[in-house]
C-alpha cells in the first residue's frame, strides 16, 4: 500500500507545493489533484463536509426543551380552547371527551349574564381594566419621584433604597392580609384614623360595597410602586452626567432638564414598565381573593377572580375556559401596541 501511495504521489510531483513550517518542509497537494486511496483523499486540508457540519446549529439539542414546552404550555392551551366550546361541568367531567358541544354559547353567556356567585365577564373586564389603569397611573409618578430622590449620592442612600423595596419583597398574600386587617370595619386602623380626623365614619365598610374597589387600589399601589421605582432607577443609571452639565451651562433649570433630557431618555424603559405593570395588575388574583374572599363585592370582582369562581365554585368549566381565553386576548392588546410602537421608533430613528 505504501509503494502504491508513493507511485501516485510521484506522478503528481509537478503539482506538489512545498511549505516550510517551523523548520519542517511539508508537501501539500491541491484538493482537486489528490488521488483517492481506499475512498479517502490524501492531503492536509480540512474536509468541507466537516466544516459545514460544524457551522450548522445543533437544533437537535432543543428537542427536550420543545417537548417540555409542548407538555406544559401548548397542550393545556389547546385543551382550554376545546373546553371553551363544550358544556363541561360537574355532571359531564367524568366523561369529558363526550361532553355536549355548544359552540360559542359559553362566550355569549360570559358577556350576557353572570354566574350564580359573581358578575358577568363584561362587568369583570371593566373592573379589571379600571383597576389596572388606576393603579398604574398612581404608582408611575410615585416610582419616578422615588427613583429621582435616591439617584444622587448622599449619606444613607443604601438604607433608603433598601427601605423602598420592603413593600415589593413582601409576598402578595401577606400584603393582602395586612390591608384586610387595616380596612376592617369599626376597629381597623384606617377607620380609626379617619374617624379621629373627622373625615369619615367609623363604619366605612371598605371590604364590602362600593369602597371595596378603592381599598383594592390602595393595597395594590402600596405593594407595586417599587417596581416602577426599580425600572426608572435602572434607566437613570444609563443617562450621562455630561448631558445635564451641558444643559446647566446653557441655563436650563431642573424642570427643563427633567422634561428635555430625563423623560425622553427614560421613554423606552418607562414604556416597558408601564406595560408590565398594567398586565400584572390586570391579572392580579391573589390580592382580591385574600382581601375580599369569595364571592367579592361586584366593585372588586376582577376577571381572574371571576374565572376562579366560575370554574371551581360553580363548576362551570366550559364557561371558565371561555373567560380565560378572553382574558388572554385582552392582555395581548396592550402588548401588541407596545411592540408596534417599538418598531415605529426603530424605523424613525
Give pLDDT, residue 268: 84
Residue 57: per-residue pLDDT: 74
Q: Which of 165, 152, 159 is nearest to 236 (CA)?
A: 152
Whether residue 125 contacts residue 328, with contact meaning beta carbons closer than 8 Å, is answered with: no
Our count of domains for the chain comes to 2
Last residue of a domain, one of 14, 31, 55: 55
Q: What is the pTM of this model?
A: 0.75
**Per the domain annotation, does 278 fall within a domain?**
yes
Any domain includes 229: yes
Examine residue 81 and state whether it is found in any structural domain, yes or no. Answer: no
For residues 161 and 242, membership in a common domain is answered with yes
216-237, pLDDT tens digit by residue? 999 999 999 999 999 999 999 8
Beta-carbon contacts of 133 under 8 Å, excluding residues fewer than 6 positions away, are 278
Q: Residues 327, 216: one domain? A: yes
What range defines the domain where residue 307 resides? 105-348
Q: What's the pLDDT tens digit per position in 118-142?
A: 677 888 889 999 999 999 999 999 9
What pLDDT shows up at residue 257?
86
Position 117 scores a pLDDT of: 62
pLDDT of residue 20: 53
Low pLDDT (below 70) residues in the chain:
1-55, 114-118, 344-349
Do residues 116 and 332 make contact, with C-beta atoms less than 8 angstroms apart?
Answer: no
pLDDT of residue 218: 94
User: Helices marked H in 99-250 — which ranges?
Assistant: 105-112, 121-149, 157-164, 166-169, 172-182, 189-196, 212-236, 241-249
- Evaluate whether residue 80 is within a structural domain: no
Residue 48 sits in the same domain as residue 109: no
pLDDT at 6: 47
Amino acid at each position: 500500500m505504501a509503494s502504491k501511495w508513493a507511485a501516485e504521489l510521484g506522478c503528481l510531483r509537478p503539482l506538489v507545493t512545498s511549505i516550510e513550517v517551523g523548520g519542517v518542509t511539508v508537501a501539500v497537494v491541491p484538493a482537486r489533484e489528490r488521488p483517492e486511496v481506499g475512498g479517502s483523499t490524501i492531503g492536509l486540508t480540512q474536509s468541507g463536509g466537516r466544516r459545514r457540519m460544524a457551522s450548522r446549529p445543533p437544533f437537535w439539542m432543543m428537542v427536550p426543551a420543545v417537548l417540555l414546552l409542548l407538555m406544559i404550555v401548548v397542550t393545556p392551551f389547546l385543551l382550554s380552547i376545546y373546553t371553551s366550546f363544550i358544556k363541561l361541568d360537574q355532571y359531564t367531567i367524568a366523561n369529558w371527551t363526550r361532553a355536549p358541544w355548544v359552540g360559542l354559547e359559553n362566550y355569549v353567556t360570559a358577556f350576557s349574564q353572570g354566574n350564580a356567585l359573581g358578575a358577568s365577564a363584561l362587568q369583570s373586564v371593566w373592573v379589571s381594566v379600571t383597576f389596572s389603569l388606576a393603579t398604574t397611573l398612581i404608582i408611575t409618578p410615585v416610582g419616578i419621584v422615588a427613583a429621582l430622590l435616591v439617584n444622587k449620592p448622599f449619606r444613607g442612600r443604601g438604607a433608603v433604597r433598601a427601605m423602598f423595596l420592603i413593600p415589593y419583597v413582601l409576598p402578595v398574600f401577606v400584603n393582602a392580609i395586612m390591608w384586610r386587617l387595616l380596612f376592617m370595619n369599626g376597629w381597623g386602623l384606617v377607620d380609626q384614623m379617619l374617624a379621629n380626623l373627622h373625615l369619615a365614619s367609623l363604619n366605612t365598610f371598605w371590604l364590602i360595597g362600593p369602597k371595596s374597589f378603592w381599598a383594592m387600589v390602595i393595597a395594590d399601589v402600596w405593594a407595586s410602586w417599587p417596581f416602577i421605582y426599580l425600572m426608572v432607577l435602572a434607566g437613570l443609571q444609563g443617562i450621562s452626567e455630561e448631558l445635564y452639565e451641558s444643559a446647566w451651562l446653557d441655563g436650563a433649570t431642573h424642570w427643563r432638564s427633567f422634561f428635555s433630557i430625563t423623560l425622553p431618555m427614560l421613554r423606552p424603559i418607562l414604556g416597558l414598565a408601564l406595560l408590565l405593570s398594567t398586565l400584572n395588575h390586570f391579572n392580579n388574583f391573589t390580592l382580591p381573593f385574600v382581601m375580599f374572599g369569595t364571592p367579592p363585592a361586584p366593585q372588586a370582582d376582577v376577571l381572574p377572580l371571576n374565572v376562579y369562581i366560575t370554574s371551581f365554585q360553580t363548576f362551570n368549566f366550559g364557561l371558565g375556559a371561555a373567560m380565560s381565553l378572553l382574558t388572554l386576548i385582552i392582555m395581548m392588546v396592550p402588548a401588541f401596541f407596545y411592540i408596534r410602537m417599538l418598531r415605529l421608533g426603530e424605523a424613525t430613528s
